[in-house]
Amino acid sequence: MKRIALFGGTGFVGSYLVDALVEAGMAPVALVRPGHEARLRHPDHCEMVPGDVENAETVDAVLRNADAAIYNIGLLREFPSRGITFEAMHYEAPVRIMQAAEGAGVRRFVLMSANGVRAEGTAYQVTKFKAEEYLKQTRLDWTVFRPSVIFGDPRGRNEFATQLARDVVVPPLPAPLFFDRMAFWKAGEFALSPVHVTDVAQAFVQSLARPDLHGRTLPLGGPQALSWREILRIIADALGRRKMMLPVPAAGVSGAAALLDRFESFPLTRDQLKMLLEGNICSDEAFSQFGIAAKPFDSAHLGYLKNL
């Protein structure tokens, strides 16, 4: 049975990674922050190591005798006043773990990144890109996955479609169709490729036994490129609702976010809005290498939204 060191096993995607690893007959060794023990699924089939990524001894304990490592820790937004930053979690922590993996003799390393990362962009994009670039310089047999926005039953965690349903579709106000500068005729036209969480988890787990994927960076998108307008309509359909939508200038929202996005209750940061307007499209072609038919973003696969 393969031992898989898992960093980021209690969040949204992490819970599905644990499911897929256990189903494949592998033994996850999961780093779990104190107070999050109840979030780890299949505790009878997992080894739990309490601690955090800042502690070298804890990291070493997770990697000990592991056959492979997965780094899946990620932030949707940062709170520097609380020491929660993209730099720390997307770059510094994975670099330390890559170094520790090399020291422990763990050759296989799979990194969760994101579609659209690049050397110049938002802090989210830049820090994930820097981690990718560091990984490429190591002696590890690495694979990087770059998913678009991930959807699926959140199991009590943060998730793309649930947040949109709760913050945008369910409230009585019209849904915003953002547009940049004065291009109101393009309101809500930026597009995304939502990808189902179970498909992402299966790709990660199958890749562990695929030497042909060493040194590869794979985008993971769903089978549809959907505009923001279409995504909101599909979510509304899944909830059995009709939703009015109105063009909204991004500049006004960005101005409000400049004042309020330091508060966790404010739903959108300036950088998140900027990345939305860029779009986030990628192909589902990579899934063919795993024999996976990527699930569409439709009412049938959004049934969990009815639990809101």
Domain C-terminal end among 220, 236, 266: 220
Q: What residue has token string 């890749």?
A: 207
pLDDT of residue 28: 98
pLDDT of residue 150: 98
Q: Which of 78-82, 115-119, 257-261 has the highest mean pLDDT?
A: 115-119
Pull the structure tokens for residue 63.
Answer: 């990697």
User: In this structure, are 202 and 54 located in the same domain?
Assistant: yes
Instruction: Summarize the confidence of residues 92-110 as an average pLDDT.
Output: 98
User: In this structure, are 180 and 79 located in the same domain?
Assistant: no
For residue 35, being part of any structural domain is answered with: yes
pLDDT of residue 16: 98
Contact between 177 and 188 under an 8 Å Cβ cutoff? The reply is yes
The burial class, CB within 10 Å (0-12 / 13-18 / 19+), for 277 is middle
Pair type for strands 68-71 and 108-112:
parallel
User: In this structure, are 45 and 85 located in the same domain?
Assistant: yes
**CATH (domain of 75):** 3.40.50.720
Asked if pLDDT for residue 265 goes beyond 80, the answer is no
Asked if pLDDT for residue 184 goes beyond 80, the answer is yes
Pull the structure tokens for residue 198.
Answer: 């179970």
For residue 288, being part of any structural domain is answered with: no
Asked if pLDDT for residue 125 goes beyond 90, the answer is yes
The contacts of residue 133 (CB under 8 Å, 6+ apart) are none
Q: How far is the C-alpha of 119 from the C-alpha of 279, rounded, in Å?
A: 17
pLDDT of residue 267: 80
Angle among Cα 266, 269, 271 to the nearest 5 degrees reads: 175
pLDDT of residue 152: 98
DSSP assignment of 159-208 equals -HHHHHIIIIISSSSPEEEEE-TT-GGGTT--EE--EEHHHHHHHHHHHT
User: In this structure, are 135 and 261 located in the same domain?
Assistant: no
User: In this structure, are 127 and 245 located in the same domain?
Assistant: no
Pull the structure tokens for residue 89.
Answer: 């979690």
pLDDT tens-digit profile of 13-25?
Answer: 999 999 999 999 9
User: In this structure, are 199 and 175 located in the same domain?
Assistant: no
Overall size of the chain counted in residues: 308
Contact between 56 and 93 under an 8 Å Cβ cutoff? The reply is no
User: In this structure, are 111 and 231 located in the same domain?
Assistant: no
User: In this structure, are 134 and 245 located in the same domain?
Assistant: no
User: In this structure, are 168 and 205 located in the same domain?
Assistant: no
Largest Cα span, the chain: 58
Closest to 199 in 3D by CA, of 128, 151, 142 = 151
Amino acid at 217: T
User: In this structure, are 267 and 211 located in the same domain?
Assistant: no
pLDDT of residue 286: 96
Question: How does residue 233 score in pLDDT terms, banded at 50, 70 and 90?
Answer: very high
Count of the separate structural domains present in the chain = 2
User: In this structure, are 206 and 166 located in the same domain?
Assistant: no
Asked if pLDDT for residue 128 goes beyond 90, the answer is yes
Q: How far is the C-alpha of 273 from the C-alpha of 226, rounded, in Å?
A: 17
pLDDT of residue 261: 77
What does the radius of gyration of the chain's CA atoms come to, in whole angstroms?
19
User: In this structure, are 186 and 44 located in the same domain?
Assistant: no
For residue 237, being part of any structural domain is answered with: yes
**CATH (domain of 248):** 3.90.25
pLDDT of residue 4: 98
Pull the structure tokens for residue 44.
Answer: 């009878």
Distance spanning both ends of the chain, measured CA to CA: 39
- From 45-49, 242-246, 250-254, the region with the lowest mean pLDDT: 250-254
Asked if pLDDT for residue 201 goes beyond 90, the answer is yes
Q: How far is the C-alpha of 207 from the C-alpha of 203, rounded, in Å?
A: 6
Asked if pLDDT for residue 307 goes beyond 90, the answer is no
For residue 155, being part of any structural domain is answered with: no
Which residue range is the domain that position 275 belongs to? 160-192+224-282+293-307
Evaluated on CA atoms 276, 89, 69, 50, the torsion sign reads negative
Average pLDDT along the chain: 95
Closest to 193 in 3D by CA, of 113, 306, 295 = 295
Phi and psi at residue 304, to the nearest 5°: -65, -20
- From 6-20, 154-168, 233-247, 255-269, the region with the lowest mean pLDDT: 255-269
* Percentages (nearest 5) of helix, strand, coil residues in the chain: 45, 20, 40
Q: Whole-model pTM?
A: 0.96
Contact between 154 and 162 under an 8 Å Cβ cutoff? The reply is yes
Q: How far is the C-alpha of 98 from the C-alpha of 49, rounded, in Å?
A: 18
